[in-house]
């Protein structure tokens, strides 16, 4: 917001690197000269006189007017996240799901078609299915097979939506391949960058047009608030998304924006440390006879290991999933529940991206609303457990998982 008259922070040198931007990018300080970013808990902003108010409402003068469509704390979060993702602009939303909602409301209309991975977050699948009643149809395709995405393209396809790595199996989509398919068909590619965050993966480098976030996860990083964002080209955000935000109001509260903004400062060191711990947990799990498969992109056994390492800055992320061996689905579910219930440190919650390690049974929680057929398609068995590794001592996490491993 150029019209803002504060004491400028020192201007960042050109070419400041991501770790610097994560701490420094923002807006000028207020006349008080605060060092930490200010929290502007205000619903509206005051104008010096009626004529100025009129000019600001007519968009002839740039200023903060009302926090549904502009607030300095929210703007700082948007600027910082855009800088970290390498996009021109960003719009913050009240949640990750609201970010998907504003993408669809801003870019699509009845008669348009979407191609989406069948391995995305459960609520994402439900939301895209809900858009069918407004005449927006979605085809769900195999996450890892670009050919399936290409085959699903139609003349009216306007959006490709991928989440990589996926939740909970960490399967990886080839972002560059999907961007090529999208652009050849005149569509946009949006990547849900929740699992890697800009600390590990920059989807626009591989050709993605939009990057979507659940700020609830690693961006906050300490499990405190629900938040979301869409990063992309300035023209698209300003011309398509901002008008929807003004009228529909899925805005991020200034308080939540401030929490996530401060979370961005430690994002990279947290995620790198949590990813290292996750790999140690994954390697240990691979050695346990009671465990069938283990999913983590840094494992050589991961089906897209090489692609993941190239796309994710050599890092696997902090999520590990594993399948307990069992005779049938009922026994698998019982064993999974027993392991989860035996933990003394891990938090039993479907949330992730926290410094506290979380453990969940996807088939009965995050993916519980899906039909059995949809779960099968997504590869979510009853013996599957997802661990989102936090910052506790890794030996304590391993011991915690060992407690409930089946003894026979
Ligand atoms: C949690 C999550 C979402 C939804 O975000 P909310 O902030 O909970 O609305 C979307 N995508 C992925 C990958 C998620 O993990």
**CB atoms near residue 249 (< 10 Å):** 11
Between CA 222 and CA 25, with CA 267 as vertex, the angle to 5 degrees is 120
Q: Which of 93, 95, 96 to mutate to test the pocket of ligand 1 (most atoms within 8 A of CB)?
A: 96
C-beta of 157 in contact with ligand 1 (< 6 A):
no
pLDDT at position 1: 44
Contacts of 5 (CB under 8 A, 6+ apart): none
Distance CA 380, CA 364 (A): 10
CATH class of 269-402: alpha beta
Residue ID of nearest Cα to ligand 1 atom 7: 96
The burial of 380, by beta-carbon neighbours within 10 Å (0-12 exposed, 13-18 middle, 19 or more buried), is given as buried
**How far, in Å, is the centroid of ligand 1 from the Cα of 323?**
23
pLDDT at position 408: 66
Distance CA 212, CA 116 (A): 14
Task: Note the pTM of the prediction, 2 decimals.
Answer: 0.94
Distance CA 219, CA 84 (A): 11
C-beta of 217 in contact with ligand 1 (< 6 A):
yes
Q: Are 335 and 324 in contact (CB under 8 A)?
A: yes
Q: Are 224 and 259 in contact (CB under 8 A)?
A: yes
Fold of 18-264: 3.40.640
Residue 159 CA: distances (Å) to CA of 115, 117, 149, 155, 244 = 6, 12, 11, 11, 18
Residue ID of nearest Cα to ligand 1 atom 2: 214
pLDDT at position 9: 59
Q: Which of 121, 221, 354 to mutate to test the pocket of ligand 1 (most atoms within 8 A of CB)?
A: 121
Residue ID of nearest Cα to ligand 1 atom 8: 96
**How far, in Å, is the centroid of ligand 1 from the Cα of 198?**
16
**How far, in Å, is the centroid of ligand 1 from the Cα of 13?**
34
Distance CA 406, CA 408 (A): 6
| DSSP H or E run through 50 | helix 50-57
Tokens of 220: 């906050």
C-beta of 213 in contact with ligand 1 (< 6 A):
no
C-beta of 37 in contact with ligand 1 (< 6 A):
no
Q: Are 325 and 381 in contact (CB under 8 A)?
A: no
Query: Where in the chain do CATH 3.90.1150.10 domains reside?
Result: 269-402
Residue reference for tokens 């700082």: 76
Sheet holding 347-348, edge to edge: 291-295, 319-324, 384-388, 358-360, 347-348
Query: Where in the chain do CATH 3.40.640.10 domains reside?
Result: 18-264
**How far, in Å, is the centroid of ligand 1 from the Cα of 292?**
27
What region, left, alpha or beta, does residue 393 occupy, with left being phi > 0 and alpha being psi -120 to 50 degrees?
Answer: beta
Between CA 125 and CA 129, with CA 126 as vertex, the angle to 5 degrees is 90
Query: Which residues of the chain fall below pLDDT 70?
Result: 1-10, 408
pLDDT at position 7: 53
Tokens of 224: 């405190």
pLDDT at position 119: 87
pLDDT at position 368: 84
Question: What single-letter DSSP state applies at residue 29?
Answer: B
Of 218, 193, 312, 201, which Cα lies nearest the Cα of 270? Answer: 218
**How far, in Å, is the centroid of ligand 1 from the Cα of 39?**
25
């Amino acid at each position: 917001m150029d019209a803002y008259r504060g004491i400028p922070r020192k201007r960042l040198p050109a070419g400041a690197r991501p770790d610097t931007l994560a701490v420094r990018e923002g807006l000028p300080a207020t006349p008080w000269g605060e060092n930490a970013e200010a929290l502007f808990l205000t619903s509206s902003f005051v104008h010096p006189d009626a004529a100025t108010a009129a000019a600001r409402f007519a968009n002839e003068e740039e200023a903060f007017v009302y926090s549904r469509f502009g607030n300095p704390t929210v703007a700082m979060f948007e600027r910082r996240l855009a800088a970290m993702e390498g996009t021109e602009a960003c719009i913050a939303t009240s949640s990750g799901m609201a970010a998907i909602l504003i993408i669809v409301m801003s870019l699509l209309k009845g008669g348009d078609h979407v191609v989406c991975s069948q391995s995305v977050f459960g609520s994402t699948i439900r939301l895209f299915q809900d858009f069918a009643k407004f005449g927006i149809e979605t085809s769900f395709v195999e996450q890892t097979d670009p050919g399936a995405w290409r085959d699903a393209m139609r003349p009216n396809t306007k959006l490709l939506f991928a989440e990589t790595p996926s939740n909970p199996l960490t399967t990886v989509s080839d972002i560059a391949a999907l961007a090529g398919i999208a652009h050849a068909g005149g569509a946009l590619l949006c990547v849900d960058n929740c699992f890697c965050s800009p600390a590990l993966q920059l989807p626009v480098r591989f050709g993605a047009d939009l990057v979507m976030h659940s700020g609830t996860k690693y961006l906050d990083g300490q499990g405190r608030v629900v938040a979301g964002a869409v990063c992309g080209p300035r023209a698209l955000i300003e011309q398509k998304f901002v008008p929807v935000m003004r009228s529909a109001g899925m805005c991020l509260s200034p308080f939540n924006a401030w929490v996530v903004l401060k979370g961005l400062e430690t994002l990279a060191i947290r995620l790198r440390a949590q990813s290292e711990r996750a790999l140690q947990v994954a390697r240990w799990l691979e050695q346990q006879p009671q465990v069938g498969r283990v999913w983590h992109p840094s494992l050589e056994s991961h089906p897209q290991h090489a692609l993941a390492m190239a796309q994710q800055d050599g890092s696997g992320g902090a999520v590990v999933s594993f399948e307990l061996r069992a005779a049938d689905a009922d026994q698998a579910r019982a064993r999974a529940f027993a392991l989860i219930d035996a933990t003394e440190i891990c938090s039993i919650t479907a949330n992730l991206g926290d410094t506290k390690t979380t453990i969940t049974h996807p088939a009965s929680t995050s993916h519980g609303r899906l039909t059995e057929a949809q779960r099968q398609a997504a590869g979510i068995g009853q013996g599957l457990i997802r661990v989102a590794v936090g910052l506790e001592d890794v030996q304590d996490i391993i011991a915690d998982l060992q407690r409930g491993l089946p003894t026979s």
